[in-house]
Amino acid sequence: MSSRRFCWKGSPLPANDYLEELALLSEAAEAAGEVALRYWKHAPSAWEKADGAGPVSVADLAVNDLLESRLRGARPDYGWLSEESVDDPARLSAKRIFIIDPIDGTRAFLNDEGSFSHALAVAENGHVIAAVVYLPVMNLNYTAVADGHSLLNGRPIHPSQTTQIDGSTVLTSRLSDDPRQWEGEIPDYRRSFRPSLAYRLCLVAEGRFDATISLRGAWEWDIAAASLIAERAGVLATDRKGKPLHFNTPSAQMNGLVVAPPVLHAEYIRRIRPLPLP
């Protein structure tokens, strides 16, 4: 990864410290990719987490250790929320916090697929101000700051112009095909899937898909970084009720996720049942 990826082509430079935060995240993401690739396709030890929380591997933990050392070493007063760290309630009183998924899409990583990502964000008072989603195998680097435009490898990205839910392309799991999740009939969308939720949001931000939805709870570390990238590209990212996302909460979890351009987003919100299945 070279520094040219983080230039702001076509966008004014923010008049604050957000770019400093982005530079720190970018350097850490590059280092995370180097660590991850040392394990990728080498059958790292892995096991299932408790309570059906999915797989974790020695690679996830190694990347987490690297990121925590680099980021907290640079900003020792920041809070820390990571999928692979024991949660420290002290983060709730921090003005700024790192929200990290060391390897988002661990199943893809363990299956030797290249669609896993490193998702890194800085949030301030509940709002993400700088974000990186980096896919080292695919050489894709999505970045954003709170007052700039989202970039992919240094170039601005834009979402689709789709406004109708029927016929739209949506990244989501099979859970979305359950008729009980919808008001009325299931929409006639075209469903696809990617293991990394952060990558799904970025694909919507760059217009390769029209929407992504998650009708189960969504963890903050999966969506913090990519939600800013989506929003700064011109996409709405909310929970399944249409409420704005707020980060560094006690539960670190959202009531689902709906991400789409504004008109299409309104259509999805109108059709999705506001409460998850019991």
How would DSSP label each residue in 195-219?
Answer: S-HHHHHHHHHTTSSSEEEE-S-EE
Tell me how crowded residue 90 is: count the other CB atoms within 10 A of its CB: 9
Q: Cα(35)–Cα(26) distance, rounded to whole angstroms?
A: 14
Residues 142 and 180 in one domain: no
pLDDT for 149 beyond 90: yes
How confident is the model over 153-190, as pLDDT tens digits?
999 999 999 999 999 999 999 999 999 999 999 999 99
Structural domain includes residue 1: no
239 annotated to bind ligand: no
Residues 241 and 152 in one domain: no
Question: Which is it for strands 190-192 and 96-104: parallel, antiparallel or unpaired?
Answer: unpaired
Beta strands in the chain (DSSP E): 46-48, 55-57, 79-82, 96-104, 117-124, 127-135, 140-145, 151-152, 155-156, 169-171, 190-192, 211-214, 218-219, 236-238, 253-254, 257-260
Residue that terminates a domain, selected from 156, 181, 202: 156
The length of the chain is 278
Kind and range of the H or E element at 117? strand 117-124
State the residue range of the domain holding 91.
Answer: 17-156
103 annotated to bind ligand: yes
101 annotated to bind ligand: yes
Structural domain includes residue 3: no
Residues 187 and 236 in one domain: yes
Residues 188 and 128 in one domain: no
Residues 150 and 31 in one domain: yes
Residue that terminates a domain, selected from 109, 132, 156: 156
Q: Yes or no: say if 106 and 83 are a contact pair by the CB < 8 Å rule.
A: no
Structural domain includes residue 2: no
pTM of the model: 0.92
What is the number of domains present in the chain?
Answer: 2
pLDDT for 16 beyond 90: no
| CATH number, domain containing residue 129 | 3.30.540.10
How confident is the model over 240-254, as pLDDT tens digits?
999 999 999 999 999
Average pLDDT, the chain: 93
* DSSP letter (8 states) at residue 180: G
Residue that terminates a domain, selected from 156, 178, 210: 156
